[in-house]
């Protein structure tokens, strides 16, 4: 193969490598995305951790490698730099992607059973335990006079504990 051919081949290989690298998955939050302002960046991180990556099984956009997550991280930071408050940014994103994007579902008519469910189970369980106690106590007859006397005798005869 001529020298020129070799050079072409190398160039093609490098180009292909670059293309493949570019087309591959992105990664979780990258250094170049970080805002210079530390306070703003911390807010960005906090918001990101509460937003779900839409294409992953169950990851926040902060942890996700997906391109969508990267885009969302960028949106969050753009809105922060533009001066939006945290709730405004969340509302902005929910408006576009729906409640699905929030890892902490809002409390409303559709989710009150979700949020109150654990408390309801705990209270019902506690009530059930108390009811069971009362029932089993009622089911056990008290000692009659003769048994009571026998018990007293046993107690009296008992040696004092060492």
Contact positions toward other proteins, by CB under 8 A? 21, 24, 26-32, 34, 50, 52, 57-60, 63, 98-105, 110-111, 113-115, 117-118, 121-122, 125-126, 129, 133, 136-137, 139-140, 142-143, 151, 154-155, 158
CB of 3 to other proteins, least distance (A): 25
Q: Six-digit token pair at 158?
A: 């008992």
Alpha carbons within 13 angstroms on the beta-carbon side of residue 61 total 27
Q: Which is nearer to other proteins, 7 or 27 (CB)?
A: 27
Q: Which is nearer to other proteins, 28 or 76 (CB)?
A: 28
Give the separation between CA 11 and CA 8, rounded to whole angstroms.
5
CB of 79 to other proteins, least distance (A): 20
Q: Map residue 52 onto helix, strand or coil.
A: strand
Q: Which is nearer to other proteins, 65 or 84 (CB)?
A: 65
The burial of 154, by beta-carbon neighbours within 10 Å (0-12 exposed, 13-18 middle, 19 or more buried), is given as exposed
CB of 2 to other proteins, least distance (A): 28
Q: Which is nearer to other proteins, 4 or 38 (CB)?
A: 38
CB of 123 to other proteins, least distance (A): 9
Q: Six-digit token pair at 112?
A: 């009150």
The alpha carbon dihedral of 62, 50, 67, 39 has a sign of negative
Residue 52: φ, ψ to 5°: -90, 140
């Amino acid at each position: 193969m001529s020298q020129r051919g070799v050079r072409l081949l190398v160039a093609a290989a490098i180009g292909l490598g670059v293309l493949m690298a570019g087309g591959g998955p992105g990664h979780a939050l990258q250094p170049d995305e970080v805002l210079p302002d530390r306070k703003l960046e911390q807010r960005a991180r906090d918001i990101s951790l509460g937003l779900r990556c839409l294409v992953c099984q169950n990851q926040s956009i902060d942890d996700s490698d997906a391109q969508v997550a990267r885009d969302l991280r960028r949106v969050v930071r753009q809105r922060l730099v533009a001066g939006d408050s945290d709730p405004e940014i969340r509302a902005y994103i929910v408006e576009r992607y729906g409640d699905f994007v929030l890892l902490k579902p809002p409390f409303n008519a559709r989710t009150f059973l979700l949020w109150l469910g654990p408390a309801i189970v705990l209270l019902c369980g506690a009530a059930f335990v108390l009811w069971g106690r009362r029932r089993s106590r009622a089911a056990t007859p008290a000692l009659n006079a003769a048994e009571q006397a026998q018990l007293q005798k046993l107690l009296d005869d008992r040696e004092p504990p060492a």
